[in-house]
């Protein structure tokens, strides 16, 4: 018998199924198991006994239902993780999963009914390997102020990391996405969530972009000398497109480094694309006139506008990684991937699927006709030096060097 030192509350209005769930959890060695017939009773119990590690929760109940309960405990610290056990249709459960992600709750699994010992055991093990977002919340790190960010830019503390984009069938690297990271003096690397809001608020996005361009174009030349010809992709924010000098400055850099515009791609997120003012059309037009590629990033993560898709001069769609992760379990996600591949073909746009984490996903995408991807299955973001070494170890050199 397993032994999990966990506090769990079971929300289930069917008395037999509730007793069965409690019995399974006790067999698995959970130290304390509470039970409630609806959300109101569960809240009363939690107010009395304190936080629990996991809520095993049905959704459709008389009285306060499971969704109302989750909304009540979200951000409260009373529940750490959630396991959904419901007979509702897949589309409704998918909506609840999205809501849970917004409530500062960790979703361990959506297991339907009936419950099985092995499935519950696997999810309880998973609980020990994921961050505890509810019961023991980490102290959030304070965002840096403008002076700290400016100093990091001046000291080159905001550095470029590179994540390869590859051909699914052969593993050939076709390019890299340039990502921003903050490397502290201690060596710790911080994600963009820590500093990008400050850069945006203080109007420093272009300064970061041109630092990345200088670093990346120099690296691109170095890689070409070593026999690796790669395209480099940079992220743009919609507000940057209103800068009338942006395209001209990028053209100056292309001349300075002697590179073709077609070796650069600029990515805008779908949500940013929808926010982009009409004046941004000129900037996008000029980038394409210079030969640069334009990519719609995180496609499908927002509310897609097909009108904007055909109005703006994009030639690549990057499908949000959530679809790759869910497509084999969710028929609707599978349909979105298939439809986007077909849409890209009809519009003459290449489609890159992000978030590929397993070979099974890669093979499935290949069978659907997808040719290009990006994700941890192939390579994580890495520094420029690491990229050079990694390419030499994994990629054949071009005869054009």
In the chain, what are the domain boundaries? 7-127, 146-394
- Residue for token pair 């001046």: 154
Superfamily of chain region 7-127: Response regulator (3.40.50.2300)
Quote the percentage of the chain above a pLDDT of 70: 90
Residue 185, pLDDT above cutoff 90: no
pLDDT per residue over 98-133, tens digit each? 788 778 788 888 888 888 888 888 888 877 655 443
Write down the pLDDT at residue 93.
80
Q: What is the 3-state secondary structure (H, E, C) of 158-224?
A: EEEEEEEEEECCCCCEEEEEEEEEEECCCCCEECHHHCHHHHHHCCCHHHHHHHHHHHHHHHHHHHH
Q: Which of 100-104, 140-144, 168-172, 327-331 has the lowest mean pLDDT?
A: 140-144
Residues whose CB falls within 8 Å of the CB of residue 243, separated by 6 or more in sequence, listed in order:
206, 283
Active site residue 354: yes
Say if 7-127 and 146-394 have the same CATH topology.
Answer: no
Which pair of structure tokens corresponds to residue 256?
A: 């300075």
- Residue for token pair 């071009």: 398
pLDDT per residue over 129-155, tens digit each? 554 433 334 444 567 888 999 999 999
Catalytic residue among 354, 357, 360, 393: 354
Stretch (H or E) spanning 265? strand 264-269
Question: What's the CA gap between 142 and 238, in Å, rounded?
Answer: 26
Question: What's the CA gap between 246 and 239, in Å, rounded?
Answer: 11
Query: What 3-state DSSP class applies to 316?
Result: strand
Residue 241, pLDDT above cutoff 50: yes
Rounded mean pLDDT, 275-295: 83
Query: What 3-state DSSP class applies to 130?
Result: coil
Write down the pLDDT at residue 174.
94
CA-based nearest residue to 374, from 159, 161, 160, 174: 174
Write down the pLDDT at residue 301.
61
Rounded mean pLDDT, 52-73: 90
Counting every residue, how long is the chain?
Answer: 401
Rounded mean pLDDT, 323-336: 88
Residue 330, pLDDT above cutoff 60: yes
Superfamily of chain region 146-394: EAL domain (3.20.20.450)
- CA angle 368-373-375, nearest 5°? 125
């Amino acid at each position: 018998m397993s032994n999990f030192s966990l506090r769990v509350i079971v929300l289930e209005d069917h008395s037999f199924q509730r007793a069965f769930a409690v019995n399974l959890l006790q067999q698995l060695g959970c130290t304390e198991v509470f039970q409630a017939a609806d959300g109101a009773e569960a809240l009363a119990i939690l107010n009395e006994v304190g936080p629990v590690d996991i809520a095993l929760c049905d959704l459709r109940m008389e009285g306060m239902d499971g969704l109302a309960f989750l909304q009540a405990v979200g951000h409260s610290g009373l529940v750490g993780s959630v396991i959904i056990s419901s007979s509702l249709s897949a589309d409704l459960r998918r909506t609840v999963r999205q809501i849970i992600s917004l409530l500062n709750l960790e979703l361990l699994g959506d297991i339907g009914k009936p419950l099985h010992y092995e499935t519950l055991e696997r999810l309880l093990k998973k609980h020990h390997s994921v961050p505890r977002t509810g019961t023991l919340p980490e102290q959030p790190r304070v965002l840096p102020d403008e002076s700290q960010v400016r100093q990091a830019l001046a000291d080159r503390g905001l550095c470029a990391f590179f994540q390869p984009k590859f051909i699914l069938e052969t593993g050939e690297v076709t390019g890299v996405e340039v990502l921003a990271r903050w490397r502290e003096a201690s060596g710790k690397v911080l994600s963009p969530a820590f500093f990008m809001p400050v850069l945006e608020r203080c109007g420093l996005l272009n300064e970061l972009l041109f630092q990345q361009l200088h670093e990346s174009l120099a690296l691109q030349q170095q890689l070409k000398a070593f026999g690796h010809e790669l395209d480099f992709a940079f992220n743009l924010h919609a507000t940057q497109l209103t800068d009338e000098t942006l395209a001209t400055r990028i053209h100056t850099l292309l001349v300075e480094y002697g590179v073709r515009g077609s070796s650069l791609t600029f990515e805008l997120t779908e949500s940013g694309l929808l926010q982009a003012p009409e004046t941004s059309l000129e900037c996008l037009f000029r980038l394409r006139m210079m030969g640069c590629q334009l990519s719609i990033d995180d496609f499908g993560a927002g509310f897609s506008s097909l009108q904007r898709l055909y109005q703006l001069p994009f030639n690549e769609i990057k499908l949000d990684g959530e679809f790759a992760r869910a497509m084999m379990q969710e028929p609707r996600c599978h349909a979105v991937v298939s439809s986007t591949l077909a849409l890209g073909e009809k519009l003459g746009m290449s489609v890159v699927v992000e978030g590929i984490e397993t070979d099974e996903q890669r093979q499935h995408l290949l069978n659907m006709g997808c040719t290009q991807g990006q994700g941890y299955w192939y390579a994580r973001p890495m520094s420029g030096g690491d990229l050079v070494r990694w390419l030499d170890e994994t990629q054949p050199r071009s005869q054009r060097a």
